[in-house]
């Protein structure tokens, strides 16, 4: 089932760092920022994680919870989270269930070879469990500010 803006998020459940379970209903009443990224400890993903970290208090103040999602395993996530001192949890989607549900698995060309990769994307889910906004195939610079602006607008609405 594909996800569509202004429609409820389909059912899912996943495990995150800190022993947290995340599902389509686990955070009802809160705004949820789900950002999908290709891989722990790569330059773009590290920069993006640090920007979400540096703006984390602003997201919390605006009533949002942030989750990073990648195909890395829990051990990799725990190390990445500790190394960057991330204040939010990371979801280990090792079976790519969430990646496929959100449609972020894409064919990429890497060093001349076709590989299946994760397209950097962010999804904003409202307190009612409805997808409010999505950013796909994005570039890291300025992105976190854009998401925060949307979270604040949602809080005002």
Spacing of C-alpha 31 from chain mean position: 12
Is there a contact between 115 and 108 (Cβ–Cβ < 8 Å)? yes
From the list 45, 65, 118, 148, the catalytic residue is: 45
Say whether 57 sits in a helix, a strand or coil: helix
Q: What is the DSSP string of 97-150?
A: HHHHHTT-EEEEEETTEEEEEEPPEEEEE-TTSBEEEEEES--STTHHHHHHHH
45 belongs to the catalytic site: yes
Is there a contact between 45 and 70 (Cβ–Cβ < 8 Å)? yes
Active site residues: 45
């Amino acid at each position: 089932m594909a996800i569509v803006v202004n429609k409820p998020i389909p059912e899912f459940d996943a495990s995150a760092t800190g022993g947290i379970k995340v599902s389509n209903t686990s955070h009802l009443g809160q705004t949820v920022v789900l950002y999908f990224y290709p891989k722990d400890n790569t330059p773009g993903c590290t920069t993006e994680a640090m920007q979400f970290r540096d703006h984390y208090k602003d997201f919390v103040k605006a009533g949002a919870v942030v989750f990073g999602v990648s195909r890395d395993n829990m051990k990799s996530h725990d190390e990445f989270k500790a190394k960057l001192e991330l204040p939010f949890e990371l979801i280990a989607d090792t079976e790519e269930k969430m990646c496929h549900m959100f449609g972020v698995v894409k064919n990429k060309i890497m060093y001349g070879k076709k590989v299946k990769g994760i397209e950097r994307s962010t999804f904003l889910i409202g307190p009612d469990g409805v997808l409010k906004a999505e950013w796909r195939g994005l570039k890291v610079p300025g992105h976190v500010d854009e998401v925060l602006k949307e979270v604040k607008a949602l809080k005002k609405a």
